[in-house]
Amino acid sequence: MDEEFLLFNPGPVPVTDEVLESMAEPMVSHRSAAFEAVYERAQDGLEYVFTCSTLDGSSTSTGGTPLVFNGTATMGMEAAIANLVDEGDSVVSLVNGKFGRRFARIADRYTDAATRVEATWGESIDVDAVAGAIDDETELVTMVHNETSTGLLNPVETVGQLAAEADATFVVDGVTSIGGDEFRIDEWNVDIAVTDAQKALAAPPGTSAMYVTDRVKDRIDGESAPFYEDLDWHLRKADQHQTPFTSAVPLFRALAVAVEDIEAEGMPDRIARHRTQAAAFREGFTAMGLELFGDDQGPTGQSNTLTAIELPESVKGDTASDFMDAVGERNVSISGGQAHLGGTIFRVSNMGNFTADQIVRGVRTVGEAFGEVGVDLDVDAGVLAARERLDQL
């Protein structure tokens, strides 16, 4: 294998040498001024990412606090629900993929009044059904912005308006959108947003981040949450650039470098790059003869940070592993489907800092791997289509 290893999985994603090197610096106490300086850098960078993820770089929040957790985004998802929901509170969870379902499953642990508005995985959210489920008794609405399991982008703005009209708190999983696509805190009526270091932020796995708007802070009840996820405590310590408990110092350093890199690129350029690279994947794969997974007819659209593709019938099921092995033999890693979608789709990510040449290599590798397992595709047409799209950057 002469070509470098390429990690196209939708998390963890590749990290830069500077991010890696930051983790090798000498250890310091998590209660030291040196660590507080690291956390402040991470907070400043996250403030930019959470509030300026727009096409013009303008701020979209009138006030809030970014937090970093010693845990992946599922911790943030649970923390949001646990601090805002008591037994008997009405929660509406939108589900059209694995991670929407995860939000709903967490809600089920904290209240017996959780309602799911479900769509078949890969299909659009029914906004009318959402409107019918949310009422004046609804305390909390949860949804996933970019559903990683299906490669679809859900209508946060529309649902946020429905939540605001009912005075319900709106919590959004932006795990695979924040840092790579547009996200508008105030305009979409988002009260709490959650993301993960290992996704579009392009940092190592192990930490996650949350943005808590000022308007929701009075609704938080930290004592109702697990001890480790008390958001009141996390917010108090964040004012001192600290966490309530021992911090994963190397991971916080890595996150600080990663978000500083994002700010240096600028969110408008980063969003444009991610959108163009995702379009190159979609157009490259369809030009060679593959089909996109999911129905983007309606308020749900195609993701701009990852792409889900239907496996051809001849390699679905047990034989899907032959295709995945052929990709791996070319020193490239991609992901299959999750849960019942295993053996029916594959997924590739463009989150992070990929170059145009790397995206083209991803398209070519997939085409060559299918050819090895007997699927006849027009690989050259796919590569050409991807290259033509990327030339627009």
Give, in order, the Cα–Cα distances in Å from 322 to each of 311, 332, 344, 365.
12, 14, 13, 14
The residue count of the chain comes to 393
Task: Return the pLDDT at 88.
Answer: 95
Question: CA-CA distance, 351 to 11, in Å (whole number)?
Answer: 8
Task: Return the pLDDT at 393.
Answer: 81
List the Cα angle 192/196/198 in 5-degree steps: 170
Q: For the chain, list residues with pLDDT below 70.
A: 1
SS3 65: strand
Residues in a beta bridge with 256? none
Question: CA-CA distance, 63 to 282, in Å (whole number)?
Answer: 37
pLDDT tens profile 141-194? 999 999 999 999 999 999 999 999 999 999 999 999 999 999 999 999 999 999
pTM (two decimals): 0.96
Task: Return the pLDDT at 1.
Answer: 54
Dump the DSSP string for 12-37: S----HHHHHHTTSPP--TTSHHHHH
Task: Return the pLDDT at 242.
Answer: 96
